[in-house]
Amino acid sequence: MQLFASRFEEVLFWVVFVSGVTMPVIVFGQWTRRNAASVKTKPGKDVSTLTNFALIPMAVIAILLGYARIGALPHWLFYPGLILWLLGLAYTGWAYRTLGHFFSLDVQIQNDHRVVDTGPYRLLRHPGYAGFSLGLLGLGVALQSWASLLVLLFATIAALAYRIPIEEKFLVAELGDDYVQYMTNTKRLVPFVW
Which domains are seen in the chain, by residue range?
7-185 (1.20.120.1630)
Question: What's the CA gap between 46 and 28, in Å, rounded?
Answer: 19
Q: Which residues pair with 72 in a beta bridge?
A: 145
Task: Tell me what pLDDT residue 176 has.
Answer: 93
Task: Tell me what pLDDT residue 126 has.
Answer: 95
Q: Which of 18, 135, 10 is nearest to 75 (CA)?
A: 10
Question: What's the CA gap between 148 and 154, in Å, rounded?
Answer: 10
Over the chain, what HEC string results? Answer: CCCCCCHHHHHHHHHHHHHHHHHHHHHHHHHHHHHHHHEEECCCCCCCCHHHHHHHHHHHHHHHHHHCCCCECCHHHHHHHHHHHHHHHHHHHHHHHHHHHHCCCCCCEECCCCCCCCHHHHCECCHHHHHHHHHHHHHHHHCCEHHHHHHHHHHHHHHHHHHHHHHHHHHHHHHCHHHHHHHHHCECCCCCCC
pTM for the model stands at: 0.88
CA-to-CA separations, 14 to 6, 7, 35, 119, in angstroms, rounded? 13, 11, 31, 31
pLDDT (mean) for 7-32: 90
pLDDT bucket at 189, cuts 50 / 70 / 90: confident
Determine the length of the chain: 194
pLDDT (mean) for 183-192: 89
154-187 pLDDT, tens digit per residue, is 999 888 888 899 889 989 998 999 999 999 999 9
pLDDT bucket at 37, cuts 50 / 70 / 90: low
Residue 50 has pLDDT above 80, yes or no: no
Residue 33 has pLDDT above 70, yes or no: yes
Residue 147 has pLDDT above 90, yes or no: yes
Average pLDDT, the chain: 89
Task: Tell me what pLDDT residue 42 has.
Answer: 63
96-142 pLDDT, tens digit per residue, is 999 988 888 778 888 888 999 999 999 999 999 999 999 999 999 99
pLDDT (mean) for 30-45: 69
Please give the distance of CA 23 from its chain centroid, rounded to a whole number.
13
Residue 147, Cβ neighbours under 10 Å: how many?
20
